[in-house]
């Protein structure tokens, strides 16, 4: 209270005295405060000639200026501006003005007048353009000031008629950025009259300078982006600009036409050469497709991209883009069947595939109306054959967009996409495979198309092969021959590239489940069964045989008659595969096979039911565990043991719930460990007698800590409730540690510091999970917080005692599961660890080891996933893969393909090193994403930095052993 | 009116022996100088006597431009330069200059050493001829002399093929040579800017063809080769040593690598290795893919393709052989063809155009029995396939080029007459420009409408600008006053004062006078005053003065009044105005003729 009073007194005192004081230095402040401007002023005054001045300005521009001194600097600059005779210096000043008005926290409205004034006296066009640019910056900084905007627009109008292109450019830019939405401009000045900004801009579509034309188009596009509805009148002008001599104009015109086609798709435009009329969107589509054969590849890319987003076009026009015929009414289908036949004799052009089929038969009927400019026909044929792969990719993407919205078009463009699989650039091939996958719901591949598609399976690029597998997963085929063909080629692929095993199996799984009826007639042949003779039992470890079985079993799920065709060993193999590759082999209803049926009864029934029942089971287990009131209750341990075991098994069986089950199991294990550590009799014993137990308890505490980090960082989809519970467990473990320290160490110093640290932990927990506290009723933390005032003042020994009792009395927190929990997993595909041939290299040099791994449910793997190499001598290296080594084949999935460099001194014998993936975490990163981020950062200063971010790594995958042999150097 | 004359000496409504004479702005240019594959007599070379009866060509030609190294475009070059006699400049691109002599030498060997012809050009002549060659770079403007300039554009087709833009003053011609608008496995597509030439001379080999997409063609080709190989047959692909051959090699090479095939691929030796060497060198002339990847591996370093030896033709088992020449008219390809023709398992793939009269042309037209020299006949049992791999632009490609260059006239050469006729119709309909297709020796004359550049004095321009709006509006032409001076071969537009000063002439005043009779009962002075007030009310914005000496002056127009001698009521008005005020003067005279309104006092 006294302090408060004193403060007030002081305040009042200062008020009285300061007022007169403030008056006088106010002026001084203006001059002296922006010390920078003063320095600048002096510099500029010192400058004897323009070169010097320019140098000073350049130096000045390198340093940032604080927001409060900006205005002063600007005044100085303007002052100098009026005095300066040299154009380049004035230009630099003008550009500096623009730069300065961009300064954060500075509102440039005070300099608008000055900037406009400078314009009126300026003679040099370049400087004028720069000044207008400055005004543009100011205008964009002040979006909510209509007065400034109006003035700037007036200025722009005034200078639009300048002879220098740069000035006109900038004026148009100004109009584009600031032109009023939905209000006719320039009401005050009678010259502009009621003309609105659009018609003024469109006047400059015909400017003599291509740069101004471009700027006018861009300004119009800018208006559109700002929400102004562009008038339809300019459509004709924009179309005329499509044939401009300059590529940047054409490119902008393509955009303009596109915008208009999106705004007025249904309005009708006449065709110049005839008296027919078509929809505007069709006309625009035709014109843009024409641009796909433009002379400049930039325009071609632009046009091809744009085509993909005109979805309202009529199918009639759309199909013409795939037609190479000059005339549109003589359309022909370009299916491969027809292509194989003699080519459609249209009487116009030959195809160039048959000798002398090009004798012109009839003259063209000149009355035939070209509905669409002839260049539009076959736009995509052109685009896909373009010289530049950029254009080809754009065309493929456009095809994709259009095909997704039109099934009939998808059907037609199929041949072309399949053709693209033979492109010479891998990127294009890959892209077209992806596109085909995306539209594959619309289409059914014919045999010959499939043939072409499958030929790509031999491609040496892994990306291509895997993209193709992915494609085959989604493909529909029409005949059983197709299935056979696909299987054959996939087996060939498997044989050639054994590393594709998983991908091929997965592909066959989908192929089977999609086409059960087509697989059915193939079954005897595939399983090589014979009506009379027993055939030899195939080798169960043969990947090719497994592939066939995966196909057959997946087909059998929806084809109940199929199992009748199986021979005895097939059933045995089924049982084996169902267990070992449960993600590939679905549960089957096998009549008369009791033991197989029984095994699957846990999660029997069709897929969705089993997931539900498993979910139910999971919930029940958790409920059962939640009945444990006290950690010391008898039988609690057993119950936890059983539940953990159940959950683990459930996770293995039901992949959908693996994450959730694992999460629960780990959490329960933590609880179990805690329980065990607390139940030890050590608590009743004298300290020296229980050294051994102490060791186990310490280990337990350590393990719980590790597990909590795993819980927190390894699982995605956690909500703050779960995070709170995890932190709670961690807190418990820390409490345990404190108690143990108290028991083992005799000195009081470590105890005091650890107690302090613990209390800080509790506090930060409280801050972090303030919203979650009500849900933590009756928990350890809850009780601690009740006792908090007492804790903070009591002695360490007392604290330990309190902790001990609360820890033992606190109940088990019930775990509630969020919707989706996924465990981050990683599997190293390569190296396989099966090779007996050591990797030999000269010691001291490096050898590159290819590592290929799939990662699932990892956010931001570029920063978190590391590769660890462990040498036999205990030396361990952690390698950070390059961001480019990660690919993203699907949602929540990543693929790491990288090279790890190994090196070591010479060994006498080959030995194994271990390679594994690690997940790096840092607690700070998650705290930032947690909801109470603000509270945390506020208290940052009070926390010791060591506690702020706990960094560490969690092993993410099983270690793979690689046999290596560094040889001594030969001399 | 100035004219451009185009006369094909070869390739007019024909394929082969390309040689086109162009006269433009007083310059004579020869475009290409090729030979004809189908003839072995004098007809194989262009008829140079058209240019000069006897004597050297140097006096008649300003330059010769060779578009690419195919013999039907450069085969007659040594003959022309060394035997007929031409010492002027010959232009070709760098790759053409490198490869052309190889082909010429090969051609010479076949004709002289194998056929035993005499009176043919020698190796030394080829060398001498090549010394006259000036190499061109793409998009480089070369000044042949003060007025004539040429510029080369990329044409695809074969390595180093170029289109040329020839310009004299404001007249220009573009000659395409052979070109290809679709890129292939080793070359890019032809490109030209919007140069708006007066004439575009284009080849039209595939005037009636629209080819299927390149990819299906490639796939079909590979499929056919693969099938034949799998059933143990042999595949013969007759090619010209350079050009298509390299493309097909790249195609097969990559396919072999992908499919892991083991059957051997041979390439008949000779010039191949040298030529391949040049292909490796001139990477900048190839397509995007090769340019991008040559750092890792030059695509022209083949792994699967080996040199061919004559004895290999009898080896058992499947094989693929590329052999020259492409039309099966002579040489190794014909020998191999004879050996393999009897077996129906084998296949011959004709990847390009065949001139009439060659065996290639015959078998493609379905002839199964061939007459050989010495009255022997040959049964053709093997499969004959035609895959259009020829890198010529198809109809659509030609149209595309026209759209790119926007010529004022079109001229078709290097194609068959019937097909040209068809394309001509198309072009005229689509672009509404004139299209010509002269036969050999026939001259096409095109009158041009060249724009004449005139210097305008800055002062005059500024003055005129000040009168009208601030900016010239391209939509509204504006008239201006000035004087055109033609002096010493240059045109100048200046203001009339300056013109007078420059030419040392005195300015003459031109005045018009006119009498107007007017019925007016008032005295002269009153009448004048009435006129004054009347004009004042009518002509607003003009300076009208009533001078004390009894005249009214409107701008420079002087009006005087006098009574007529007979009738004092009839007043005679004297109007006089200078030429500059002609408009106003005639307006006033017609105004005053109507009489004065009565209401004026």
- Please give the residue of chain B at the shortest CA–CA distance from A358: B208
Long-range CB pairs of A770-774, under 8 A, 24+ apart, other chains included: A770/A932, A770/A935, A771/A720, A771/A931, A771/A932, A772/A720, A772/A721, A772/A724
Question: Residue B66 has what pLDDT?
Answer: 95
Question: Residue A218 has what pLDDT?
Answer: 93
Reduced to 3 states, what is the DSSP secondary structure of residue A318?
Answer: helix
Asked whether residue A191 carries a pLDDT value surpassing 70, the answer given is no
Which among B208, B287, B400 is the nearest to A293, CB-wise? B400
Q: CB contact, 8 Å: A576 with chain B?
A: no
Q: How far apart are CA A9 and CA B174, in angstroms?
A: 95
Question: How would you classify the pairing of strands B490-494 and B483-487?
Answer: antiparallel
Question: Residue A863 has what pLDDT?
Answer: 84
Asked if A419's CB is within 8 angstroms of B365's CB, the reply is: no
Question: How would you classify the pairing of strands B544-547 and B511-519?
Answer: unpaired
Testing the interface with B: which of A241, A247, A355, A423 to mutate, by most B Cβ within 10 A?
Answer: A355
Asked whether residue A360 carries a pLDDT value surpassing 50, the answer given is no
Q: How far apart are CA A626 and CA A622, in angstroms?
A: 6
Residues B339/B308, Cβ–Cβ less than 8 Å? no
Asked if A385's CB is within 8 angstroms of B182's CB, the reply is: yes
Asked whether residue A870 carries a pLDDT value surpassing 60, the answer given is yes
Q: Give A767's pLDDT tier (boundaries 50, 70, 90).
A: confident
CB atoms within 10 A of CB A38: 16
- What is the distance between the terminal CA atoms of chain A, rounded to a whole angstrom? 86
Q: How far is B258 from chain A (nearest CA, A)?
A: 6
Reduced to 3 states, what is the DSSP secondary structure of residue A808?
Answer: helix
Question: Residue A7 has what pLDDT?
Answer: 52
Chain B neighbors of A425, CB-CB under 8 A: 289
Over the stretch A229-278, which tens digit does the pLDDT of each residue have?
A: 888 888 988 998 998 889 999 999 999 999 999 999 888 888 776 677 88
Question: How would you classify the pairing of strands A277-279 and B455-456?
Answer: unpaired
Concatenating the DSSP letter of every residue in A71-99 gives HHHHHHHHHHHHH---HHHHHHHHHHHHH
Asked if A353's CB is within 8 angstroms of B211's CB, the reply is: yes
Q: Can you say whether the dihedral through the CA atoms of B425, B431, B432, B436 is positive or negative?
A: negative
Looking up tokens 């967009």, which residue turns up? Answer: A401
CB atoms within 10 A of CB B374: 5
Asked if B474's CB is within 8 angstroms of A416's CB, the reply is: no
Task: Please tell me which residue in B171, B203, B253, B385 is annotated as part of the active site.
Answer: B203
Which among A349, A384, A419 is the nearest to B210, CB-wise? A349
Question: Residue A6 has what pLDDT?
Answer: 52
Chain B neighbors of A363, CB-CB under 8 A: 422, 425
Mean pLDDT to the nearest integer, A678-693: 61
Return all residues near A849 (Cβ < 8 A) that are at least 6 apart: A831, A839, A899, A900, A901, A902, A915, A962
List the domain boundaries for chain B: 3-210+391-447, 214-386, 452-467+480-507, 511-594
Question: Residue A690 has what pLDDT?
Answer: 59
Higher model confidence: residue B257 or residue A557?
Answer: A557
Chain B neighbors of A208, CB-CB under 8 A: 472, 474
Which among B183, B191, B396 is the nearest to A326, CB-wise? B396
Asked whether residue A949 carries a pLDDT value surpassing 60, the answer given is no
CB atoms within 10 A of CB A910: 15
Q: What topology does CATH give the domain B3-210+391-447?
A: Metallo-beta-lactamase; Chain A (3.60.15)
Which among B219, B386, B426 is the nearest to A422, CB-wise? B219
Q: How far apart are CA B126 and CA B101, in angstroms?
A: 7
Testing the interface with A: which of B210, B255, B327, B367 to mutate, by most A Cβ within 10 A?
Answer: B210
Asked if B213's CB is within 8 angstroms of A419's CB, the reply is: yes
Query: In 3D, which of A590, A600, A604 has the Cα closest to residue A612?
Result: A604
Over the stretch A196-223, which tens digit does the pLDDT of each residue have?
A: 788 888 888 888 889 999 999 999 999 8
Question: Residue A940 has what pLDDT?
Answer: 37
Testing the interface with B: which of A164, A378, A422, A459 to mutate, by most B Cβ within 10 A?
Answer: A422
Higher model confidence: residue A829 or residue A376?
Answer: A829
Asked if B214's CB is within 8 angstroms of A295's CB, the reply is: no
Q: How far is A460 from chain B (nearest CA, A)?
A: 7
Asked if A355's CB is within 8 angstroms of B350's CB, the reply is: yes
Chain A neighbors of B470, CB-CB under 8 A: 161, 163
Mean pLDDT to the nearest integer, A313-327: 71
Q: How far is B241 from chain A (nearest CA, A)?
A: 22
Q: How far apart are CA A66 and CA B231, in angstroms?
A: 82
What average pLDDT is seen over chain A?
76
Chain B neighbors of A216, CB-CB under 8 A: none
Q: How far is A239 from chain B (nearest CA, A)?
A: 16
Chain B neighbors of A419, CB-CB under 8 A: 213, 215-216, 219
Q: Can you say whether the dihedral through the CA atoms of A621, A622, A626, A631 is positive or negative?
A: positive
Reduced to 3 states, what is the DSSP secondary structure of residue B504?
Answer: coil
SS3 per residue for A857-913 = CCCCHHHHEEEEEECCCCCEEEECCCHHHEEEEECCEEEEEEEEEECCCCCCCCEEE
Q: How far is B330 from chain A (nearest CA, A)?
A: 21
Chain B neighbors of A342, CB-CB under 8 A: none
Which among A352, A363, A452 is the nearest to B209, CB-wise? A352
Q: How far is A968 from chain B (nearest CA, A)?
A: 32
Q: What burial class does residue A25 get, using C-beta atoms within 10 Å of its C-beta: 0-12 exposed, 13-18 middle, 19+ buried?
A: exposed
**Interface A-B: count of C-beta contacts within 8 A:** 123
Q: How far apart are CA A738 and CA A741, in angstroms?
A: 5
Concatenating the DSSP letter of every residue in A744-795 gives H---HHHHHHHHHHHHHHHHHHHHHTTTTGGGGTTSHHHHHHHTHHHHHHS-
Q: CB contact, 8 Å: A359 with chain B?
A: yes
Q: How far apart are CA B495 and CA B462, in angstroms?
A: 11
Question: Residue A943 has what pLDDT?
Answer: 36
Query: In 3D, which of A925, A893, A921, A880 has the Cα closest to residue A825?
Result: A893
Q: How far is B71 from chain A (nearest CA, A)?
A: 23
Over the stretch A456-485, which tens digit does the pLDDT of each residue have?
A: 787 777 788 888 898 888 888 888 888 888
Worst-scoring range by mean pLDDT, A123-132, A201-210, A917-926, B447-456?
A917-926
Over the stretch A506-530, which tens digit does the pLDDT of each residue have?
A: 899 998 888 888 888 888 888 887 7
Reduced to 3 states, what is the DSSP secondary structure of residue A922?
Answer: strand
Testing the interface with B: which of A349, A376, A390, A425 to mutate, by most B Cβ within 10 A?
Answer: A349
Q: How far is A175 from chain B (nearest CA, A)?
A: 19
Looking up tokens 């600031």, which residue turns up? Answer: A178
Q: CB contact, 8 Å: A345 with chain B?
A: no
Which among B189, B210, B216 is the nearest to A387, CB-wise? B189
Q: CB contact, 8 Å: A609 with chain B?
A: no
Asked if A350's CB is within 8 angstroms of B258's CB, the reply is: no
Q: Can you say whether the dihedral through the CA atoms of A692, A697, A702, A703 is positive or negative?
A: positive
Asked whether residue A400 carries a pLDDT value surpassing 70, the answer given is yes
Q: How far apart are CA A877 and CA A868, in angstroms?
A: 6
Asked if A325's CB is within 8 angstroms of B210's CB, the reply is: yes
Question: Residue A824 has what pLDDT?
Answer: 85
- What does pLDDT average to in each consecutive run of 10 residues of chain B (601 residues)? 90 88 92 85 86 84 92 91 91 93 87 81 93 94 93 92 93 93 88 92 85 76 86 88 80 81 81 77 88 84 85 88 82 87 89 79 85 79 81 85 92 89 86 92 90 84 70 66 83 86 85 83 80 82 81 83 76 84 84 75 52
Over the stretch A418-432, which tens digit does the pLDDT of each residue have?
A: 888 878 888 888 889
Q: How far apart are CA A402 and CA B523, in angstroms?
A: 91
Question: Residue A747 has what pLDDT?
Answer: 64
What phi, psi does B491 have (nearest 5°)?
-110, 140
Q: Give A354's pLDDT tier (boundaries 50, 70, 90).
A: low
DSSP A631: T
Return all residues near A270 (Cβ < 8 A) that are at least 6 apart: A276, A277
Q: Give A35's pLDDT tier (boundaries 50, 70, 90).
A: low
A residues 267-326 lying closer than 8 A (beta carbon) to B: 293, 295, 324-326
Domain at B214-386: CATH code: 3.40.50.10890
Is CATH 3.30.530.50 the right assignment for the domain spanning B511-594? yes
Concatenating the DSSP letter of every residue in B339-379 gives HHTT-TT-EEEE-S---TTSHHHHHHTT--EEE-GGG-EEE
Asked whether residue A394 carries a pLDDT value surpassing 90, the answer given is yes
Question: Residue A592 has what pLDDT?
Answer: 57
SS3 per residue for A168-203 = HHHHHHHHHHHCCCCCCCCCCCCCCCCCCHHHHHHH
Return all residues near A174 (Cβ < 8 A) that are at least 6 apart: A132, A135, A136, A139, A152, A153, A155, A156
Chain A neighbors of B216, CB-CB under 8 A: 339, 419
Find the helix or strand (DSSP H, E) in which B136 lies: strand B133-136
B566 is catalytic: no
Tokens of A59: 């130096």
Worst-scoring range by mean pLDDT, A203-207, A343-347, A857-861, B85-89?
A343-347
Cα B70 to the chain's mean position, in Å?
19
Question: Residue B439 has what pLDDT?
Answer: 92
Buried b (16+ CB within 10 A) or exposed e, A523-541: beebbebeeeeeeeebeee
């Amino acid at each position: 209270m006294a302090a408060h009073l004193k403060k007030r007194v002081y305040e009042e005192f200062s008020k009285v005295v300061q007022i007169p004081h403030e008056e006088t230095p106010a002026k001084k402040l203006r001059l002296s405060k922006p010390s920078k401007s003063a320095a600048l002023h002096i510099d500029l005054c010192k400058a004897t000639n323009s070169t010097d001045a320019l140098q000073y300005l350049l130096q000045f521009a390198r340093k940032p200026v604080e927001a409060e001194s900006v205005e002063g600097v600007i005044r100085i600059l303007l002052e100098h501006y009026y005095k300066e005779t040299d154009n380049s210096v004035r230009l630099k000043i003008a550009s500096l003005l623009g730069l300065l008005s961009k300064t954060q926290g500075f509102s440039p409205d005070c300099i608008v007048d000055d900037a406009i004034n400078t314009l009126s006296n300026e003679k040099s066009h370049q400087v004028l353009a720069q000044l207008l640019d400055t005004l543009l910056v100011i205008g964009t900084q002040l979006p909510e000031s209509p007065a400034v905007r109006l003035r700037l627009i007036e200025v722009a109008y005034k200078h639009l008629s300048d002879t220098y292109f740069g000035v006109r450019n900038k004026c148009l830019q100004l109009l584009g950025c600031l032109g009023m939405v939905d209000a006719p401009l320039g009401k005050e000045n009678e010259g502009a009259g009621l003309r609105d900004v659009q018609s003024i801009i469109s006047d400059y579509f015909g400017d003599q300078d291509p740069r101004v034309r471009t700027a006018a188009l861009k300004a119009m596009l800018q208006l559109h982006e700002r929400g102004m509805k562009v008038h339809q009148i300019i459509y004709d002008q924009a179309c005329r600009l499509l044939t401009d001599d300059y590529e940047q104009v054409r490119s902008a015109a393509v955009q303009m036409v596109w915008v208009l086609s999106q705004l007025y798709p249904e309005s009708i435009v006449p065709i110049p050469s005839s008296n027919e009329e078509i929809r505007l969107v069709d006309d625009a589509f035709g014109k843009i497709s024409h641009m796909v054969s433009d002379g400049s590849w930039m325009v071609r890319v632009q046009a091809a991209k744009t085509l993909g987003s005109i979805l309202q076009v009529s199918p009639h026009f759309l199909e013409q883009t795939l037609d190479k015929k000059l005339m549109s009414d003589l359309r022909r289908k370009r299916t491969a069947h027809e292509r194989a036949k003699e080519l459609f004799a249209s009487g116009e052009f030959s195809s160039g595939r048959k000798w002398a089929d090009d004798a012109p038969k009839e003259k063209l009927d000149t009355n035939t109306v070209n509905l669409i400019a002839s260049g539009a026909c076959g736009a995509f044929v052109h685009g896909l054959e373009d010289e530049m792969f950029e254009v080809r990719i754009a065309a493929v993407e456009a095809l994709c967009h259009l095909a997704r919205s039109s099934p009939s078009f998808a059907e037609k463009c199929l041949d072309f996409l399949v053709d693209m699989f033979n492109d010479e650039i891998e990127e294009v091939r890959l892209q077209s495979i992806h596109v085909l996958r995306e539209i594959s719901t619309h289409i059914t591949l014919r045999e010959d198309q499939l043939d072409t598609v499958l030929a790509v399976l031999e491609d040496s690029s892994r990306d291509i092969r895997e993209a193709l597998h992915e494609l085959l997963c989604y493909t529909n085929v029409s005949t059983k021959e197709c299935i056979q063909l696909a299987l054959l080629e996939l087996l060939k692929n498997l044989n050639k590239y054994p590393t594709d095993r998983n991908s091929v199996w997965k592909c066959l799984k989908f192929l089977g489940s999609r086409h059960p009826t087509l697989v059915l007639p193939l079954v005897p042949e595939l399983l090589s069964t014979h009506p009379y003779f027993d055939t030899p039992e195939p080798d169960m470890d043969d990947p090719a045989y497994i592939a066939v079985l995966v196909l057959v079993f997946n087909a059998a799920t929806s084809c109940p008659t199929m199992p009748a065709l199986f021979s005895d060993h097939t059933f045995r193999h089924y049982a084996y595969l169902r267990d070992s590759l449960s993600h590939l082999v679905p549960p089957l209803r096998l009549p008369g096979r009791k033991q197989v049926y029984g095994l699957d009864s846990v999660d029997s029934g069709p897929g969705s039911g089993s997931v539900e029942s498993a979910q139910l089971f999971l919930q029940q287990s958790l409920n059962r565990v939640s009945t444990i009131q006290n950690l010391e209750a008898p039988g609690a341990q057993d119950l936890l043991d059983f539940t953990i075991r159940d959950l683990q098994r459930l996770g293995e069986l039901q992949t959908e719930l693996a994450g959730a089950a694992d999460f629960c199991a780990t959490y329960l294990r933590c609880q179990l460990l805690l329980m065990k550590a607390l139940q030890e009799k050590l608590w009743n014993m004298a300290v020296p007698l229980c050294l051994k137990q102490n060791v186990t308890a310490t280990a337990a505490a350590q393990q719980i800590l590790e597990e909590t980090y795993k819980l927190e960082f390894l699982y995605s989809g956690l909500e703050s409730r779960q995070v709170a519970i995890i932190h709670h467990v961690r807190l418990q473990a820390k409490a345990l540690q404190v108690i143990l320290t108290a028991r083992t160490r005799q000195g009081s110093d470590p105890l005091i510091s650890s107690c302090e640290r613990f209390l800080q932990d509790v506090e930060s927990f409280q801050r972090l999970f303030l919203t979650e506290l009500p849900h933590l009723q009756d928990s350890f933390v809850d009780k601690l917080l009740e006792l908090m005032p007492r804790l903070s003042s009591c002695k360490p020994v007392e604290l330990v005692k309190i902790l001990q009792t609360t820890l033992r009395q606190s109940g088990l927190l019930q775990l509630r599961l969020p919707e989706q929990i996924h465990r981050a997993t990683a599997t190293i595909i390569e190296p396989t660890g099966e090779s007996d041939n050591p990797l030999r290299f000269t010691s001291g040099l490096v050898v590159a080891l290819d590592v290929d791994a799939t990662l699932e449910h990892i956010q931001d793997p570029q920063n978190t996933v590391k590769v660890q190499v462990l040498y036999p001598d205990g030396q361990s290296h952690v390698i950070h893969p390059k961001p480019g080594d990660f690919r993203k084949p699907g949602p929540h999935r990543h693929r790491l393909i990288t090279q790890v460099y190994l090196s070591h001194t010479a060994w006498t014998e080959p030995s194994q090193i271990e390679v594994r993936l690690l997940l790096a975490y840092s607690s700070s990163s998650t705290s930032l994403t947690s909801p109470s981020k603000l509270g945390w950062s506020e208290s940052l200063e009070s926390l010791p930095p060591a506690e702020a971010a706990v960094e560490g790594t969690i092993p993410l995958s099983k270690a793979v052993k690689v046999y290596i042999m560094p040889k001594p150097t030969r001399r | 009116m100035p004219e451009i004359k185009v006369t094909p000496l070869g390739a007019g409504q024909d394929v082969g022996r390309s040689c086109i004479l162009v006269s433009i702005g007083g310059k004579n240019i020869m475009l290409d100088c090729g030979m004809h594959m189908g003839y072995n007599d004098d007809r194989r070379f262009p008829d140079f006597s058209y240019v000069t009866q006897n004597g050297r060509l140097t006096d008649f030609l300003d330059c010769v431009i060779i578009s690419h190294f195919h013999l039907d475009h450069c085969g007659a070059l040594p003959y022309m330069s060394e035997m007929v006699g031409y010492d002027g400049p010959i232009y070709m691109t760098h790759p053409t200059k490198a490869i052309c002599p190889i082909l010429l030498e090969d051609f010479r060997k076949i004709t002289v050493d194998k056929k035993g012809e005499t009176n043919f050009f020698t190796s030394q002549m080829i060398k001498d001829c090549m010394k006259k060659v000036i190499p061109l770079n793409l998009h480089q403007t070369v000044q042949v002399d003060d007025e004539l300039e040429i510029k080369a554009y990329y044409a695809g087709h074969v390595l180093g093929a170029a289109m040329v833009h020839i310009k004299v003053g404001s007249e220009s011609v573009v000659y395409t040579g052979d070109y290809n608008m679709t890129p292939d496995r080793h070359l890019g597509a032809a490109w030209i800017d919007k140069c708006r030439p007066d004439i575009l001379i284009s080849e039209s080999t595939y005037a009636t063809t629209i080819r299927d997409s390149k990819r299906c063609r490639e796939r079909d080709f590979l499929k056919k080769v693969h099938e034949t190989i799998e059933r143990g047959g042999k595949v013969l692909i007759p090619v010209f040593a350079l050009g298509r051959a390299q493309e097909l090699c790249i195609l097969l090479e990559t396919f072999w690598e992908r499919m892991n095939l083991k059957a051997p691929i041979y390439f008949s030796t000779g010039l191949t290795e040298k030529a391949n060497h040049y292909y490796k060198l001139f990477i900048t002339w190839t397509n995007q893919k090769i340019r991008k990847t040559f750092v890792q591996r030059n695509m022209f370093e083949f792994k699967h393709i080996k040199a061919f030896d004559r004895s290999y033709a009898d080896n058992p088992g499947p094989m693929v052989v590329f052999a020259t020449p492409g039309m099966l008219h002579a040489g190794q390809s014909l020998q191999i063809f004879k050996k393999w023709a009897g077996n129906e398992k084998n296949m011959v793939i004709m990847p390009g155009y065949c001139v009439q009269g060659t065996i290639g042309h015959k078998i493609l037209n379905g002839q199964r029995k061939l007459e050989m020299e010495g009255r022997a006949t040959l049964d053709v049992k093997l499969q004959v396939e035609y895959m259009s791999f020829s890198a010529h632009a198809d109809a659509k490609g030609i149209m595309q080029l026209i759209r790119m260059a926007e010529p004022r006239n079109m001229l078709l050469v290097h194609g068959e007459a019937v097909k040209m006729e068809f394309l001509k119709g198309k072009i005229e309909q689509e672009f509404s420009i004139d299209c010509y297709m002269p036969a050999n020796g026939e001259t096409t004359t095109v009158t041009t409408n060249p724009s004449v550049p005139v210097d305008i004095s800055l002062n005059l321009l500024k003055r005129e600008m000040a009168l009208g709006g601030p900016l010239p509006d391209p939509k509204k032409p504006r008239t201006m006053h000035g004087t055109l001076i033609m002096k010493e071969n240059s045109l100048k537009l200046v203001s009339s004062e300056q013109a007078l000063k420059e030419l040392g002439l005195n300015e003459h005043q031109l005045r018009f006078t006119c009498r107007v009779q007017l019925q007016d009962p008032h005295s002269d002075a009153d009448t004048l005053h009435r006129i004054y007030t009347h004009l004042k009310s009518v002509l607003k914005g003009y300076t009208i003065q009533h001078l004390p000496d009894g005249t009214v002056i409107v701008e420079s127009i002087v009006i005087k009044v006098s009574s007529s001698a007979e009738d004092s009521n009839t007043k005679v008005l004297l109007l006089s105005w200078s030429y500059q005020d002609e408009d106003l003067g005639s307006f006033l005279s017609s105004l005053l003729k109507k009489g004065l309104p009565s209401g004026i006092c």
